[in-house]
Structure 1
Amino acid sequence: MSTTHPITTAPIALVTGGSRGLGRNTALQLAERGSDIIITYQRAEAEARAVVAQAEQLGRRAVALALDVSDSAGFDAFVRRLRATLDRVWQRERFDHLVNNAGSGAHASFAETTEAQFDDMVRVHLKATFFLTQKLLPLISDGGRIVNVSSGLARFSLPGYAAYAAMKGGVEVLSRYMARELGPRRITVNVVAPGAVETDFGGGAVRDNAQLNAMIAGQTALGRVGLPDDIGGAIALLLQPGNGWINAQRIEVSGGIFA
């Protein structure tokens, strides 16, 4: 899934989980700002093709590649496909920006969370961020940037999200270590932690449950629930020229929830 354009020096951004929700919005906001994009998807191929088409309409080169972030055994094969794609589409060996966004939710009380749910959260959020990034390091340009997506739930606590939030807390600690160890290559690593956002994440509860939406809006300084544009824009901003001195930071994009 790609298009052919004249070779340019535009930055290339890889966004995992880019077929829907925050990943889709981030990819398109990056395209609007002049980045070529590579997105990954697990099952939503039609949605991924639509994102590629929209990026192409913006004049950018775009590709969608299948990837199941919960299966680390497939990472080596993904890296090989990515390497071949960079050579074929861009005639380049490396890309510039990585957004570790792909994820899923688990809503269960601490007392009722199963080991299977916990292990799934480990694989999808913490293990994938660690080992996929590790595998991609040879393909990330020196001076590149990494944004890991966390959650406001790593700062404040709401019942039912213990396993999910624990993984996001791990991602935040991991990100500081990544920033420290990748510093010699001038690769920055930051965390964007969204608050509640109106997407289909978690079954679309924040978007579709009017009572829940109103409760969250009432606890937010700006008086509303977040929208995908709020988050995608913040991630894209971090990846723009002039922001390379921002490093090892956790940036919450939540409108001031529980401020």
Structure 2
Amino acid sequence: MNTSASPAPITLVTGGSRGLGRSMALALARHGHDVILTYRSNRSEADAVVGQIVQQGRRAVALPLDVADSGTFAAFAESVRGTLAQWGRDSFDHLVNNAGIGVHAAFADTTPSQFDELVNVHLKGPFFLTQALLPLMADGGRIVNISSGLARFALPGYAAYAAMKGAMEVLTRYQAKELGARGIAANVVAPGAIETDFGGGAVRDNQQLNAFVASQTALGRVGLPDDIGGVVASLLSPDNRWINAQRIEASGGMFL
């Protein structure tokens, strides 16, 4: 454990039990962060990540959270407050809004229910969750919102999903502007296509799609979760404290 006078930074990662969020949580622990991670339903997956973080000598706690249900955010904030109190802290340092879902539907076929679900998870959720957690964020902390390469380039079937991510990129600039008085910086990390189970695991499991993405990527392969976890951990390092209101795409150079 960290025995220095300065406490380890505490970072909260939503959707930290699997996929990119898991990679982020583990990378942050390797960089000396204690981690609060959230999960929606699979407690065993979340506990496994907590165990890996503890093995690295860091503290970690998994808390349940459905980012689509903004009515639960006040109670979630109290759970975070209680966790911090157990660690002898009254604030956490960084927030990573990562939790998400994938919906693949052509623009002409997207239903209102699909659209509403994406709004709740990818826009309304991060908007009001961040709002609810602001009283517990330390001055000088940082927010990382997760967007997508699809906010820059267009692939059929992702109109609604990409629209939410584009909105989050705009929101990030407003967060940077309005929270700057507290020394809180806000940035966006936009992954390209990554081999995870996101969206049914198509990029990982569909060899034709995988090969197409690799052929359109300057570095010649599809991304892996650890390609993104390391980016987030690096962005939250003290060396990058002056980066603010920026969109950082981590796609290996897709569609250049």
CA–CA distance in 1 between the matches of 2:76 and 2:194? 30
Query: In the TM superposition, what is the alpha-carbon distance from 1:121 to its structure 2 partner?
Result: 0.3
What's the counterpart of residue 150 of structure 2?
153
What's the counterpart of residue 248 of structure 2?
251
2:176 to 179, 184, 189: 179
CA–CA distance in 2 between the matches of 1:38 and 1:67? 12
8 Å CA contact 2:192–2:251 kept in 1: the answer is: yes
What's the counterpart of residue 31 of structure 2?
33
Q: Which amino acid aligns with 2:37?
A: I
Q: Does 1:53 align with 2:51?
A: yes
8 Å CA contact 2:13–2:97 kept in 1: the answer is: yes
Q: Which amino acid aligns with 1:100?
A: N
What's the counterpart of residue 191 of structure 2?
194
3-state SS of 1:82 partner: helix
Q: Does 1:72 align with 2:57?
A: no
CA–CA distance in 2 between the matches of 1:45 and 1:161? 29
CA–CA distance in 2 between the matches of 1:256 and 1:231? 14
2:83 to 85, 100, 105: 85
8 Å CA contact 1:199–1:206 kept in 2: the answer is: yes
What's the counterpart of residue 131 of structure 2?
134
Q: How many residues align?
A: 255
**TM-score normalised per structure 1:** 0.97
Query: In the TM superposition, what is the alpha-carbon distance from 1:211 to its structure 2 partner?
Result: 0.4
3-state SS of 1:98 partner: strand
5+ long unaligned stretches in structure 2: none
3-state SS of 1:242 partner: helix
CA–CA distance in 2 between the matches of 1:220 and 1:44? 33
**TM-score normalised per structure 2:** 0.98
Query: In the TM superposition, what is the alpha-carbon distance from 1:254 to its structure 2 partner?
Result: 0.2
Q: Which amino acid aligns with 2:23?
A: N
Distance 1:98-1:117 versus aligned 2 partners, 3 A rule: same
CA–CA distance in 1 between the matches of 2:199 and 2:209? 13
Query: In the TM superposition, what is the alpha-carbon distance from 1:229 to its structure 2 partner?
Result: 0.7
Q: Which amino acid aligns with 2:123?
A: L
CA–CA distance in 2 between the matches of 1:154 and 1:145? 22
8 Å CA contact 2:2–2:8 kept in 1: the answer is: no
Q: Which amino acid aligns with 2:136?
A: L
What's the counterpart of residue 116 of structure 2?
119
3-state SS of 2:223 partner: coil
Distance 1:5-1:233 versus aligned 2 partners, 3 A rule: closer
Query: In the TM superposition, what is the alpha-carbon distance from 1:5 to its structure 2 partner?
Result: 9.0
CA–CA distance in 1 between the matches of 2:46 and 2:71? 23
Query: In the TM superposition, what is the alpha-carbon distance from 1:129 to its structure 2 partner?
Result: 1.1
CA–CA distance in 1 between the matches of 2:2 and 2:64? 22
Identity in percent? 69
Query: In the TM superposition, what is the alpha-carbon distance from 1:190 to its structure 2 partner?
Result: 0.1
Q: Does 1:167 align with 2:191?
A: no
What's the counterpart of residue 203 of structure 1?
200
CA–CA distance in 2 between the matches of 1:35 and 1:8? 12
Distance 1:5-1:250 versus aligned 2 partners, 3 A rule: closer
Q: Which amino acid aligns with 1:143?
A: G
Runs ≥4 residues deviating over 2 A:
4-8
Query: In the TM superposition, what is the alpha-carbon distance from 1:242 to its structure 2 partner?
Result: 1.4
CA RMSD, aligned part only? 1.2
8 Å CA contact 1:5–1:61 kept in 2: the answer is: no
The C-alpha deviation readout for 1:72-117, integer Å capped at 9, x for no partner, is: 00000000111011001x1111000100000001100000000000
Q: Does 1:215 align with 2:224?
A: no
Q: Does 1:11 align with 2:3?
A: no
2:18 to 20, 23, 47: 20
